[in-house]
Amino acid sequence: ARALLAEAEPVDAAGRLAREIGACARCGLCGPATQAVPGEGPAHAALMVVGEQPGDREDLAGRPFVGPAGQVLRAEAAQAGLDLGAAWLTNAVKHFKFAPRGKRRIHQRPDAGEVEACRWWLDLERALVRPRLAVALGATAAGALTGRGGDLLRRRGGIEAAPDGTPVLVTVHPSRLLRLPDRARAEEERARFREDLARAARAV
């Protein structure tokens, strides 16, 4: 698979990577999911934004961050002056993991083995795009990028380094902002998320 990085044009390499991700069976998540959701964006984007995994909407559309959490991310990034149109958007895990409940599919966190199996693709995406900065949205992305997923709330807002030296700004996952029942608290958390994204915009 690493041969794809030798494609003459980065756009060709990105297309080939997406096709290879589409055929991935490195773990069991490919069975129940509709399709893999590869990363997308300019092949040499300066910024890479990494979420946890596609949600229900992304699984159906085949594109990252098109559902409710993606809308929060896009709205706050716009406010923060962070241009997601110029970013490579991807996830630590490329298939949606869920438990069926009636007609609904309930999100389930990927386990360590699934994240590890999928890191193959994330590492290839990083080697292809070579971003100046990666933003880790939530613990799963932080773990996949830095090797450490714990302690997120204490780490958020800080810039760490991936093992290959890529700077990684750690923040919360936007779906967290959708789950907070208290309105004032949710506003506060949104403002902090926006500050983290503004820091990414300044750092990139």
Q: Contact positions toward ligand URA, by CB under 6 A?
A: 51-55, 58, 64-65, 67, 69-70, 91
- What's the closest the beta carbon of residue 19 comes to ligand URA, in angstroms? 19
Q: Which is nearer to ligand URA, 41 or 67 (CB)?
A: 67
DSSP state of 40: B
101 and 14 Cβ atoms separated by less than 8 Å: no
Q: Which is nearer to ligand URA, 69 or 118 (CB)?
A: 69
Edge to edge, what strands does the sheet with 159-161 contain?
Answer: 87-91, 47-51, 133-137, 167-171, 159-161
Contacts of 198 (CB under 8 A, 6+ apart): 80, 81, 82
Q: Which is nearer to ligand URA, 12 or 176 (CB)?
A: 176
Compute the distance between CA of residue 149 and CA of residue 184 in angstroms, rounded to an integer.
Answer: 27
- What's the closest the beta carbon of residue 39 comes to ligand URA, in angstroms? 9
Bridge partner list, 202: none
Q: Which is nearer to ligand URA, 53 or 166 (CB)?
A: 53
Contacts of 145 (CB under 8 A, 6+ apart): 50, 92, 122, 134, 136, 162, 166, 168
Q: Which is nearer to ligand URA, 5 or 106 (CB)?
A: 106
- What's the closest the beta carbon of residue 6 comes to ligand URA, in angstroms? 28
- What's the closest the beta carbon of residue 15 comes to ligand URA, in angstroms? 19
The residue at minimum Cβ distance from ligand URA is: 51
Contacts of 113 (CB under 8 A, 6+ apart): 27
- What's the closest the beta carbon of residue 69 comes to ligand URA, in angstroms? 4
Compute the distance between CA of residue 76 and CA of residue 95 in angstroms, rounded to an integer.
Answer: 25
Q: Which is nearer to ligand URA, 7 or 189 (CB)?
A: 189
Contacts of 92 (CB under 8 A, 6+ apart): 50, 51, 52, 53, 110, 115, 118, 119, 122, 140, 141, 143, 144, 145
- What's the closest the beta carbon of residue 33 comes to ligand URA, in angstroms? 13
